[in-house]
Structure 1
Amino acid sequence: MKTFKSRLLATTITAGMAMVALPAVAQITPDAVQTTQADGSDATQGDVVVTGSRIARPEVDSPVPVTTVDRAQLLQRASPNVSDILNELPQVGIGQTRTNTNFLTSGTGVSTVNLRALGSNRTLVLVNGRRFVGGFGGDTAVDINNIPVDFLERVDNITGGSSAVYGSDAVAGVVNFVLRDRFEGLQIRAQGGTTEQGDNGRYFVSVTGGTKWGADDRGNAIVNFSYDRDEGLFSADRAISAQDCAGLICGPASYSSYAPQGQFQLIGANGGTRPVLAGGQSTFSYNPDGTLAVLPGYQSGVYGFNRNGVRRIAVPLERYLASGIFNYELSDKITAYSEVTYARTSSNASLEASALANTDIYSAGGIPITNAFIPTSVAAAIAAANSDGDPTNDVTSLGFRRRQNEVFDRSNRAQRDTWRAVVGVRGDLGSNVNYDVSYVYGHLNDFNASQDVDTARYRQSLDSIRVGAGNVVGVDIVCRDEAARANGCIPINLFGRGTADPRASSYVQAVVPKSEDITNEQHVVTGTLSSSSLFDLGAGGVGVAVGFEYRYESVVDDLDILTNTGGNSGNQIPDLTGSQDVREVFGEVNVPLLADRPFFEYLGVNGAARYSDYSTIGNVFSWNAGAEWEPVRGFRLRGRYAVANRAPNNSELFSAPSETFAGVTDPCDGITSTSTGATDAACRAIPAIAAFFNANPNGTFAYTLADTQGINGFVGGNRDLQEETAKTITAGFTFTPTFVPGLQFTADYFDIKIEDAISTLDRSDTVEKCLLTNDAVFCNNVLRFGATGYLQTVNAQLINIAGFQVRGIDATLRYGRPLGVAENDRLTLVANYTYLLDYKQQTDPATPEEEFAGTFGRGFSTHNLNARATYEVNGTGLSWQTTLLSGGPYLRNAFISNDPAVVALNDVDDYWLHNLQISQRIDDRFTFFFNVDNVFDTKPQYLPGTPYGTPTGLETSADFDVFGRRFTAGATFRF
């Protein structure tokens, strides 16, 4: 803490040059009602519909904390992707990003916003106050790659439940992207950048045009087209991630035992290993020179493979975005409007070739011992072992682990096409009553594909026999199955590096590529009647809004036939199809009670309610109630209590169980008739295990490797899910003192408690809790073999079982005034700070809460600061941005290592980043800028994936800047 305080003091002394492109509270400065935008256009502020309410009112009077990133700040950050900007805000945890989606089976390159680190599906994303189609199959989490940064006027962020105003999903908060609504002329922005090491190039061009049209200029149109490309970054291009690591060991000792030359193990009739090779070993591989090497078990080192050599730190991304906004005044009181968006996003992962094992190809056993490619010395050892007359000691097959370098590349290629259209009409009914009726259509098509194998063909190709005296594959050595030979089967040789015949590699590949074709569709109809002053009780107009909404969402997630049937190297996964709709009515009220009195410059109450009828979960009611009190001008207290909800999405409801063989631990493994572990008595009560001890009173009930590897399970959705419920408290104040013109300060306490959160139980925990409690919630998912008592299947199903609570304090400072040092100068300071009090999570009611506040990371660090200082004079601008994540343990409440040096890595220091922009406005038409990100080239802390669980390929956390110092140059031209 001493380090944090001393650095914060130093940062403050440097006149705020520790400040960020960061959210300002959605307010206007007292000395300037009209503000000048960075592109030279003017924006006049007045009564508007602020995010978090449907009643028009001055932004300065927002009843809830609203954090805003305005257009000027977006341009100062000079990022083509708005996700980079949002992920720097204190309220936002790391969602899906370019640096943690390389290993997703779908969603490569997707970007999501994750308020309070409570999950992207608990953050409601809006565009101009209306919903946007989800970016994952059956999920409501939005891919914000689809938001064109140059078409934005501002981005509003609200913490806490807003379901009464906007409906489901707004339990952690709301992010509302507000688009520009007026522009005339033509504007072009172009920029390019690279890191100091000359990689991860990023290029961006955007064209925006606007005009008035029609009789008496009643119509206006704005269109934007943008293109950008991010070239990605390989793990090998940074020293921290160039090699596989485990703890403090990087390099060959940590390489994968799935090597390109293969590693093989002799398997006996009982499923165990047969140590009949030289030196009493059962495993062999190949030296770098290609000679045979008998090994004591599976090895890495020179026999292993460096996976980080081909992985990515960040996936490449290419985007084409086209957007338009069109308005036409049908009369003085009626305006028709529309919005259209089209986005095409392409990305691809870079993964090491697939690691294939005999367990992926065979339900039991492995390569037949008659395989024609088995090395001569190994074949001789097998023959000798199998000639002793005791079949129980026979070698029956060969297990293997082999990297499929010359067979197939599992890196996926993803392309997402997103369409969105809005049509509506709004107008004035007189008597200060307005209406707005709109229809939103959203459509996502996400197609990703990769290579895989057909396991049936692979088994045919491994069952090779010799029919000739030579070694010609396909002539002297052929597939045993005649029908397979007629179908083109070529024997595959896995013994050694690069030994697979290309024809064999082609034969074992799946004829139909591994693919996933996702379609999300969304229809939303909304109608609202509102008045900012329906009548007056003497203290000001009573604001009212009432309305209805109908929403329909569907998903079709179509996987290839081999994935559906479990016929490739992956697990069996069925298709997903489902839909749901909801009918809602809502209302909102804002009631001024007192105004312009001593100690009561303003006193008012506000509230909202929404009744929802879902086709899936039935009726849901959400509401909020709040109050505002301004005892003296410029100082306003505000508070709100809200009950919000999140309905289960289509994926959570309708996903059919998918097969998994992920490792499960049985607490009964290793028990004896007298052992006294917490679950041992419950284990011995299982009839088959009791029978075992009756027959073997001095025995040990134990699993073989084959028993453990054979435990499968199915994980899927649940049509009986109900809504999650969030109870949110926000309380704070705004301070805009008249004696310090241009100053705004806000501070707000937030408390978000989510109950009945949708989650799954860990499968091993499920087994243990079944034994401890005999509760059907757990035991219905555990199936044992009746004859042996061994685990056969452990399933997991989504249920309303988890809980979260996040508490903290947000503070925002904004100050803007001319300094008078030079003519036309101006200093702007913006700072946003979050102090986190609690981040508690409970996986199920039988498990104690775990506290994660104070661990390192966005959404978890105790202190999180974003700030920016900008000084402008005569068209020249200098802007300095700083972000801080306070240090702490990376993992808490978890076993890390028995090595103290590895454990020491868990202590992460305070993390500061600094960014700089220099800009020059030549005139109203031309502006040039130069940005330096990570000015001091601050390095990420080493946090290896083993044991820290950081994203594969990074060997650090995605909370750090993994690229290093970056330079960006660009220009904006307006005609």
Structure 2
Amino acid sequence: MRTKLTKARLLANGAAVVVAIGSASPLLAQSDAGAADTAESTDAIVVTGSRIARPDIDANIPIAVINSAALEQDGASNIQDVLREMPQVGIGTTRSNSNFSATGNGAASVDLRNLGPSRTLVLVNGRRFVAGFAGTSAVDLNNIPTDFVERVEVVTGGTSAIYGSDAVAGVVNFVLKDKIDGITARAEYGLTSRGDNPRYLVSVTGGTSWGADDRGRIALNFTHESDKGLLSRNRAISREDRSLALVGVPAYSSYAPQGRFDLRTATGSAQVFTFDQSNALVMGFPQSLAYNRNWDRRISLPVERYIASANLTYEIADKLTAFVEPTYGKVKSSALLEAYSFDWSFIYKNGELGMPITNAYIPASIQTLIASRNADADPANDIKAIQFRRRQNEVYNRSNENERDTWRVAAGLRGSFANNWKYELSYVFGSMKDSTTTQDIDAPRYRAALDSIVDSATNQVVCRDPAARAAGCVPINLFGFNTVTQPGADYVTVPRYAHIKNTQHVVSASLTGSLLTLPAGDLGIALGAEYRKEKSSTDWDPITNRGDGTGTRYDDLVGQFDVKEVFGEINAPILADRPVFEYLGVTAAARYSDYSTVGTVLSWNAGVEYAPIRGLRFRANYAEANRAPNVAELYASITGGASGATVIDPCAGTTATSTRPQDATCRAIPGLLQEAAANGGAFTYTSFDLNWMGITEGGNPNLREETAKTLTVGAVLTPRALPGFSLSVDYFDIKIDGAVGSLPAQILVNRCIETGDPVYCSQIQRFPTGKLYTMSTTLMNVASIKTRGIDFNLNYSRALGLAEDDNISVNLLYTRLLALEKQSFAGGPIEENLGQLYAAGRLGTGFKNKASARLAYRSGGLTASWQVTYLGKIQDRLGYVASGADKDYLEGLNRVGDVFYHDVQLRYAIGEKRNYEAYLGVNNLFDRNPPLIPAGFASSVTGVETADVYDPYGRRFYAGVRLRF
């Protein structure tokens, strides 16, 4: 998509898009139809949400715009932080909620309407960008250089007919700068008021014309950003573990670095012991020696980014231009977790009770105690083993290091012919490689290292097994703080990794123009075709593949799909400049897609725009959008098996004559009546049967596409009597059917017996006896999601006359959410999220009221701005009722009041062309602390002790300089 948007055009339509470059007119605004009453222009432009150029920046759907001046005044080096301030945007993946992610920590995604990053389509210059997460379509915004962005256009609502799958919630399009003369260098440094979490940014942007007659243009940007992260112990709210279950006291762990040990007899515990800070033996386990996990966690991850981007064009002929847009991004991040909570049961199986009592490192007093008990006449008192639970602090670091390399090149030709017809041919290649490395324990080696003895020949502690010694076994001492030697740690640990690779190929062709002229203007038309191929693979280390490590077992993931599409769009201006018909027009679009996975799907939309008078325009749009399942949803490996699952079979108790509602269905199950007859007439389960019952989970190659129905209805007011003012109000309603999700095993079994629906019954396998064998909780198209609300956008800009070129502007984006709910399966309970931080399945944040407003004033080289972000009252869990003496306290934690964040910035530019600029700012000016939401509540982020919609850092200062040459 070619975007033509000149400064003159923007100024002429200042109330429409309100992104006048280099002025203090509104900086965070929404594209509003029919606002260009102050100037006329024949320029045609293309904006997100349509492929047809129009003479005015109008649209039958709301388009929120953030321009480069707004990005500067926000003071954010990462563009995700700017987007998250918008009411339309949910949380996504961030630096502060990905510390415990197995992969992708420190990544940054965008989530429109709280419907999930995979339902938000991210574009760069109107074209797709390769996914930044394993098996998904979600883009890592760390690869978008903030200083190279001309503007961000955000369209919410189903736009699959225009752009294809993944646009169910909407589209975020980053339009990059392409016409730059000279060089701009920027440096910025920031620090919190506590003197931590330093961040710095260095960015150089340049451009020039080249070649004969300046036919070529080049624009370049290099960005380096470093965010040093923040430790949980550096904030009072997260310094200690907090838990809903333990009111007023820290929720410390009994998995302590010095170990908690239990002398075990054949029938129970004989004695518990541990060690104090000086490694003196302590009988029992006092809470004062428990472990504070938050001391070793992070509020936010350190992230380092290197990005190189370019825009190159060359005019081959008068009406033919070639373009190339390369991007390379390297992102490094690291998690910090407390050491693994390791215990004896991980390495001792097959009925063994724990560590041998012959271990050479057992303290002398404990050896004496064991010998005394085992010398009496009662074998039942004998100590058989030592069970333990111990943090592996000095053994290995389960934190991971993450490094992602992203390449993307968009290249093609665009041109025009026959006066009003334009075409574009393009190819996009994207590649993302993610390498995550960590460590884990080798269970057989650990077992050998704990079976230690004193070698009589050398008087040294060695591993008992000669074969293990020959293989390099080093004994390990778990009794006390820092007792494990480095050679011992090296012996029992092994490297683990995950190597992820995503590739994307997109070939597209489009043609736009006009076939005929209608009473109100040209009938605009766009036609095109596109081919896209997506592939994703995840290569896990062998230990993870086998399930021999401390984490979850995963098979490698390899999957791909392709899609062939044709699309079309029309814009028909029917009437204009007539009484009560200042403008009337209709729009429509359709896209026919043929996927290698789900087959053919059709997306379409239709809209109408009506302006009875100048300055007042009504708009409406209805869309039916689709989202095809991604690689992970289709091909994630099936894991699980016999697990002793606690699923109650509705058929338990069925007899040949029982009359319960389900009994007739149960009797039809092959083998059930025979099994009942062999066991006294009733169908029953033994403990042996339960042990064989298992649950599997994973992807499902038979998934269908999600379908969404979207309605937007709104009005835009731009009164001629009040130049520079615009107000838009838009109602949105999005309903997704067949959403991808999984059902609990119990629900699967219940629904199968209740309904007989093969959707549920096909996920269940039974033994020939009729008893449950496995229940597959693999993904299915069973959920539905709904959201409704009203968007308000107000913009006003005018000169105050206090100075020759002064200007003041006010902008407000406000969303009133009316519904946000999920139903996991047809007929199931509604999971209401309106007014709740998180619903089941983490659907999103249900703020009923959310807003962002900015006041800006410019005079000469001075620019001052004040931004307020408002998060309305909300609850962690709806309907939460506590009991007991702490009832009021707990219910108070569950309720979060209104939160306001204030950000201010002052900029001053000097020089003949104001080429030298300095700025300073303060975010969270009044140091608003986040609400305490301890573990046990639905939305607590581990290690942060609050929800990740709130600012965990506190007041932040930043300063920078910008030099233009």
The verdict on a shared fold, with TM-score over 0.5 as the criterion, is: yes
Give the 5 Å matches for 1:713-792. 713-763=695-745, 765-766=747-748
Partner AA of 1:917 in structure 2: Q
Aligned position for 1:285? 274
1:262 offset after TM fit, Å? 1.7
1:973 offset after TM fit, Å? 0.8
Matched, 1:936 2:926: yes
Matched, 1:171 2:165: no
Give the 5 Å matches for 1:216-227. 216-227=213-224
1:265-321 Cα distance to aligned partner (Å, 9 max, x none): 45666xxx61333xxxxx4433444344454xxx67223211100100000111111
User: Given the alignment, which residue of 833, 842, 849 partners 2:823?
Assistant: 842
Moved more, 658-667 or 634-643: 658-667
Matched, 1:447 2:435: yes
Aligned position for 2:464? 479
Moved more, 883-892 or 134-143: 883-892
Matched, 1:879 2:899: no
SS in 2 for 1:114: coil
- Partner Cα separation in structure 2 for residue 96 and residue 542 of structure 1: 42
Is the Cα contact below 8 Å between 1:22 and 1:89 reproduced in 2?
no
SS in 1 for 2:150: strand
- Partner Cα separation in structure 2 for residue 371 and residue 150 of structure 1: 65
Aligned position for 2:423? 435
Moved more, 388-397 or 610-619: 388-397
Moved more, 240-249 or 365-374: 365-374
1:787 offset after TM fit, Å? 11
Partner AA of 1:215 in structure 2: A
Partner AA of 2:549 in structure 1: N
Matched, 1:634 2:634: no
CA gap 1:141/1:393 in 2 versus in 1, 3 angstroms: farther
Aligned position for 1:330? 316
Is the Cα contact below 8 Å between 1:668 and 1:683 reproduced in 2?
no
Aligned position for 2:22? none
User: Given the alignment, which residue of 124, 127, 132 partners 1:127?
Assistant: 124
1:509 offset after TM fit, Å? 0.8
1:356 offset after TM fit, Å? 1.3
Aligned position for 1:586? 567
1:205 offset after TM fit, Å? 1.1
Aligned position for 1:809? 790
1:936 offset after TM fit, Å? 0.8
CA gap 1:911/1:920 in 2 versus in 1, 3 angstroms: same
Matched, 1:79 2:68: no
Moved more, 416-425 or 563-572: 563-572
1:846-870 Cα distance to aligned partner (Å, 9 max, x none): 4121221122487411111111010
Give the 5 Å matches for 1:283-432. 283-295=272-284, 301-364=287-350, 365-372=352-359, 373-375=361-363, 397-432=385-420
1:495-548 Cα distance to aligned partner (Å, 9 max, x none): 3222223322111111xx1111111000000100101x3311222110000000
Is the Cα contact below 8 Å between 1:897 and 1:947 reproduced in 2?
no
1:913-940 Cα distance to aligned partner (Å, 9 max, x none): 1100111121321121111111111111
Aligned position for 1:13? none
- Partner Cα separation in structure 1 for residue 747 and residue 788 of structure 2: 28
1:663-694 Cα distance to aligned partner (Å, 9 max, x none): 9654589x9999x9999999999989999997
- Partner Cα separation in structure 1 for residue 934 and residue 643 of structure 2: 21
Moved more, 349-358 or 610-619: 349-358
SS in 2 for 1:451: strand
Matched, 1:247 2:244: yes
Aligned position for 2:270? 276
Aligned position for 1:542? 523
CA gap 1:389/1:910 in 2 versus in 1, 3 angstroms: same
Partner AA of 2:295 in structure 1: G
1:179 offset after TM fit, Å? 0.8
SS in 2 for 1:165: helix
- Partner Cα separation in structure 2 for residue 905 and residue 230 of structure 1: 31
1:888 offset after TM fit, Å? 2.1
Is the Cα contact below 8 Å between 1:610 and 1:623 reproduced in 2?
yes
CA gap 1:642/1:451 in 2 versus in 1, 3 angstroms: same
Moved more, 460-469 or 47-56: 460-469
Aligned position for 1:4? none
1:320-352 Cα distance to aligned partner (Å, 9 max, x none): 110000111111111111101000010001111
**Number of aligned residues:** 923
User: Given the alignment, which residue of 855, 879, 884 partners 2:836?
Assistant: 855
The alignment's C-alpha RMSD in Å is 3.6
Partner AA of 2:932 in structure 1: Y
Matched, 1:654 2:651: no
Q: Which runs of 5+ in 1 are unaligned?
A: 1-18, 35-43, 278-282
Is the Cα contact below 8 Å between 1:168 and 1:647 reproduced in 2?
yes
User: Given the alignment, which residue of 455, 469, 476 partners 1:492?
Assistant: 476
- Partner Cα separation in structure 1 for residue 171 and residue 370 of structure 2: 66
SS in 2 for 1:246: coil
- Percent identity between the two aligned chains: 45
1:761-808 Cα distance to aligned partner (Å, 9 max, x none): 23565566668778665566667999998x986642111111100000
Matched, 1:528 2:510: yes
- Partner Cα separation in structure 2 for residue 649 and residue 619 of structure 1: 16
SS in 2 for 1:485: helix
1:213 offset after TM fit, Å? 0.7
- Partner Cα separation in structure 2 for residue 92 and residue 506 of structure 1: 46
Aligned position for 1:827? 808
SS in 2 for 1:927: strand
- Partner Cα separation in structure 1 for residue 251 and residue 846 of structure 2: 30
Partner AA of 1:286 in structure 2: F
1:176 offset after TM fit, Å? 0.5
1:379-414 Cα distance to aligned partner (Å, 9 max, x none): 676677778999999765444321001110011000
SS in 2 for 1:49: coil
Is the Cα contact below 8 Å between 1:20 and 1:881 reproduced in 2?
no
SS in 2 for 1:921: strand
TM-score when normalising by structure 1: 0.88
Is the Cα contact below 8 Å between 1:244 and 1:250 reproduced in 2?
no
CA gap 1:485/1:135 in 2 versus in 1, 3 angstroms: same
CA gap 1:771/1:352 in 2 versus in 1, 3 angstroms: farther
- Partner Cα separation in structure 2 for residue 305 and residue 720 of structure 1: 46
- Partner Cα separation in structure 1 for residue 807 and residue 482 of structure 2: 66
1:59 offset after TM fit, Å? 5.0
Is the Cα contact below 8 Å between 1:276 and 1:381 reproduced in 2?
no
SS in 1 for 2:299: strand
1:419-443 Cα distance to aligned partner (Å, 9 max, x none): 0001110111214111011000000
Moved more, 224-233 or 946-955: 946-955
Aligned position for 2:498? 516
Give the 5 Å matches for 1:898-909. 899-900=886-887, 901-909=889-897
Is the Cα contact below 8 Å between 1:230 and 1:316 reproduced in 2?
yes
Partner AA of 2:275 in structure 1: Y
1:491 offset after TM fit, Å? 2.1
CA gap 1:106/1:584 in 2 versus in 1, 3 angstroms: same
Aligned position for 2:942? 952
1:479 offset after TM fit, Å? 3.1
Give the 5 Å matches for 1:546-695. 546-659=527-640, 665-666=646-647
Partner AA of 2:488 in structure 1: A
- Partner Cα separation in structure 2 for residue 652 and residue 646 of structure 1: 12
Is the Cα contact below 8 Å between 2:183 and 2:204 reproduced in 1?
yes
CA gap 1:244/1:689 in 2 versus in 1, 3 angstroms: farther
Moved more, 945-954 or 303-312: 945-954
Aligned position for 1:507? 491
Is the Cα contact below 8 Å between 2:29 and 2:795 reproduced in 1?
no
CA gap 1:952/1:844 in 2 versus in 1, 3 angstroms: same
